[in-house]
Structure 1
Amino acid sequence: MADSLFEQLEQQSTSGGVDAVLEHLISSLQQDKKHHELFEALKMQVRHRAGLPLLYGESGDDLDPKQRTLLEDGLLGACRQVGTGLLEDGRVSEGWMYMRPVGDVAAARELIDKIEVQDDNIDEMVEVLLQEGVDPARGFSVVLQNYGTCNAITTFESVMPQKGKADQRAVAQLLLRHVHQELFTNVKADVAGRQDSEPTATTLAELIADQEGMFGEHSYHIDTTHLASTTRFSRILENEECLRLALDLTQYGQELHEQFQYD
């Protein structure tokens, strides 16, 4: 195949010169999904169109403004094209490597939204979505669903302080809903066992009301450090529904033995 392509490029060179060679090479690499090689070919095409040597490797500071603009815009276009192709093929980290300099986070997010989280890509999905900030809420959700509450809380504490308030709130909501649902399910099961019937309460406060003997020295229904951390993170929330959930957690926490009370 390499010999065949080389022969084709020789023919293109004879009939159409450098432009024809580059067009044919780019088309062939696109068809074969050789993304990294395609990027190199696109760079040569950009340089050629800017009147520069095909292997020009300088910073561009010596160029006139028009040439520099052609070079910079062309290289960003090449990054977008190759990054898009890689992401469409499900290659998350590689695709984001090319999309990052473009700065179009929305386009990258839209492409990654179509990629399913699997065992072989979960780490790079978390890295790009959460650490790189392409979609922190989805990235955190992946951590929560696959690594559990403890790891999610550690991740929140290490990653989210560097993110904007909107992202912090979106992620805090996910954690709050998850922890509240887990706790509500556990308490509801406990109450059902105590009264031999399914409780109809819709809040933790209602569930634990008049449940004498539920909270002993060693009694709790969820890791209490998770409860404390989630409540603390929830202080940045403004949504009324979420604030009610956070308040519900505190009402449960107030009933715990003093050894599980945290300032």
Structure 2
Amino acid sequence: MRDAKTSEARSTAVAEPGFPEIDASLQADGPAAAIDRLVEDLDRRGEYRLLLDALLLKARHDLGLPLIQVGRYADLPEADRQRFEERYVEALRRVGARFLESGDVPTAWAYFQAIGEPGPVTKALGEMPTPDDPDKLASLIEVAFHHGANPARGFEWILQSYGPCSAITSLEQATPADPTVRTGCIEKLIGHLHQQLVENIRADITRRGQPQPPANASIAQLIAGREWLFSDESYHTDVSHLTTVVRWAVQATAPEAIAKAVDLAEYGRRLSPRLQYESAPPFERTFDDHLIYLKALTGQDVDAAVAHFQGKLNEFDGAEEDDVQATIPAQVLVNLLVRVGRPAEAVEVASKRLVGVPDALLTCPPIAELCQRSGKLDRLAEAAVRMKHPVHYLAARLQSSGSN
């Protein structure tokens, strides 16, 4: 008898409905109300993945489509497909917002990325404080920097939490697509390294029992007359980091960042020659050459800087036209001339040295842009003939004649 009762109990348990609330709602109020009740319950309980399924069920019911999808949505009639896709996007947006509100940024990003709306995640990351949990921080950095949801914020977290070595590596391996974002990252690196170097130099001065310079002294002022700071090949920051940041600093645009980069280059050129790395032309003497370039960006010794890099360019006279590496000094000079407000001179250099270089290989503005900036449309027409570029030629002719 006991076995029979146990078997009967099991049979009764299996026969009982698994979702009595759904059945009750369905019987009392009908299908539409039952679906709405399910959507509300899943939303309230935070079961957001199931919520998406419920929202899509509601969409299919509202639109009169089969409630169980068979085959591809692309096979639906055009009108039905478009209406369902609109509801599908609405559902993804709603569920993504719920995940974002709950703090699950990686999952929210997957939903918003699927509908091409990164804005909510970008905004949330920008306003989010740095989490204490290292695992959560790592997941936020992955979304923000490596997936591109908010690269500037992600890079800031990398720099603050893991230091310049990780920040430099990240920027080398995953360059942000937006050049303004990359520039912002470089400027953060400049500021971080500058502050670190100032603190280390001051600590060294204190350790040696020397009086402290004024609180607002620049690095150039901190090291002036203190050659002993560099004795016995001493240094106050990782030299490889310093070298990389100074090389990248030519891309900085913020005046404060450029001024700090000048400071870093001033420090670097005082290091023992054994600690200074050589670079590719026209920056063979890494710190000295970059210092000349960077000071020109601040308005100091501009003529001397232009002459310096023109001299570097002259060393490549006679180079083969298809040798792109040999055009780097010309590209550097063009960038410098543009940055210091001499676009007409930049056109002259580009028209002589860069006509045969494809735009995709240029690190400076292409000749068409340079001619447009400087109003030298006649030079663009001449260059277009040499480039065998009929489009540039016609554009130059039309623009110079006012026919556009």
TM-score between the two structures when normalised by the length of structure 2: 0.61
Is the counterpart of residue 110 in structure 1 residue 123 in structure 2?
yes
Q: Is the 8 A contact 1:90 1:115 kept in 2?
A: no
Of residues 209, 212, 229, the one that matches 1:214 is 229
Distance in 2 separating the partners of 1:219 and 1:165: 36
Is the counterpart of residue 14 in structure 1 residue 27 in structure 2?
yes
Q: Is the 8 A contact 1:191 1:199 kept in 2?
A: no
Is the counterpart of residue 233 in structure 1 residue 248 in structure 2?
yes
Spell out, residue by residue over 1:142-165, the C-alpha distance to the aligned partner (whole angstroms, 9 max, x if none). Answer: 1112212211111111012x4210
Is the counterpart of residue 69 in structure 1 residue 69 in structure 2?
no
Q: Is the 8 A contact 1:88 1:111 kept in 2?
A: no
Q: Is the 8 A contact 2:145 2:154 kept in 1?
A: yes
Deviation, structure 1 residue 16: 3.5
Q: Is the 8 A contact 1:205 1:248 kept in 2?
A: yes
Distance in 2 separating the partners of 1:139 and 1:58: 40
Is the counterpart of residue 58 in structure 1 residue 71 in structure 2?
yes
- Which is further off, 211-220 or 11-20? 11-20
Is the counterpart of residue 23 in structure 1 residue 36 in structure 2?
yes
Deviation, structure 1 residue 80: 1.2
Deviation, structure 1 residue 29: 0.4
Distance in 2 separating the partners of 1:214 and 1:165: 37
Deviation, structure 1 residue 17: 2.9
Matched position secondary structure for 1:109: helix
Distance in 2 separating the partners of 1:159 and 1:127: 11
Deviation, structure 1 residue 214: 1.8
Spell out, residue by residue over 1:18-52, the C-alpha distance to the aligned partner (whole angstroms, 9 max, x if none). Answer: 21121010000011011111111111112222322
Spell out, residue by residue over 1:181-215, the C-alpha distance to the aligned partner (whole angstroms, 9 max, x if none). Answer: 00111112222344532211521111100112221
**Which residue is equivalent to 2:273?**
258
Q: What amino acid maps onto 1:49 in structure 2?
A: D
Q: Is the 8 A contact 1:130 1:139 kept in 2?
A: yes
Of residues 92, 100, 112, the one that matches 1:87 is 100
Distance in 2 separating the partners of 1:250 and 1:170: 19
Distance in 2 separating the partners of 1:5 and 1:179: 62
Distance in 2 separating the partners of 1:115 and 1:237: 26
Spell out, residue by residue over 1:214-236, the C-alpha distance to the aligned partner (whole angstroms, 9 max, x if none). Answer: 21342100000010111122221
Of residues 162, 168, 190, the one that matches 1:153 is 168
Spell out, residue by residue over 1:81-134, the C-alpha distance to the aligned partner (whole angstroms, 9 max, x if none). Answer: 111111111112112111111222221122333464232301110111111111
Structure exhibiting the larger radius of gyration computed from Cα positions? 2
Is the counterpart of residue 204 in structure 1 residue 222 in structure 2?
no
Q: How many corresponding residue pairs? A: 260
Distance in 1 separating the partners of 2:90 and 2:241: 46
CA gap 1:233/1:57 in 2 versus in 1, 3 angstroms: farther
Deviation, structure 1 residue 250: 0.4
Is the counterpart of residue 190 in structure 1 residue 228 in structure 2?
no
Bigger RCO (CA 8 Å, 6+ sep):
1
Q: What amino acid maps onto 1:37 in structure 2?
A: L
Of residues 148, 158, 162, the one that matches 1:143 is 158
Q: What amino acid maps onto 1:169 in structure 2?
A: T
Point out where structure 1 has 5 or more consecutive residues left out of the alignment: none
Identity %: 31
Q: What amino acid maps onto 2:63 in structure 1?
A: A
The Cα RMSD (Å) is 1.9
Q: Is the 8 A contact 1:180 1:245 kept in 2?
A: yes
Matched position secondary structure for 1:250: helix
Point out where structure 2 has 5 or more consecutive residues left out of the alignment: 1-15, 280-404
CA gap 1:235/1:209 in 2 versus in 1, 3 angstroms: same
Q: Is the 8 A contact 1:44 1:54 kept in 2?
A: yes
Q: What amino acid maps onto 2:36 in structure 1?
A: E
CA gap 1:248/1:95 in 2 versus in 1, 3 angstroms: same
Matched position secondary structure for 2:72: coil
TM-score between the two structures when normalised by the length of structure 1: 0.92
Deviation, structure 1 residue 14: 2.4
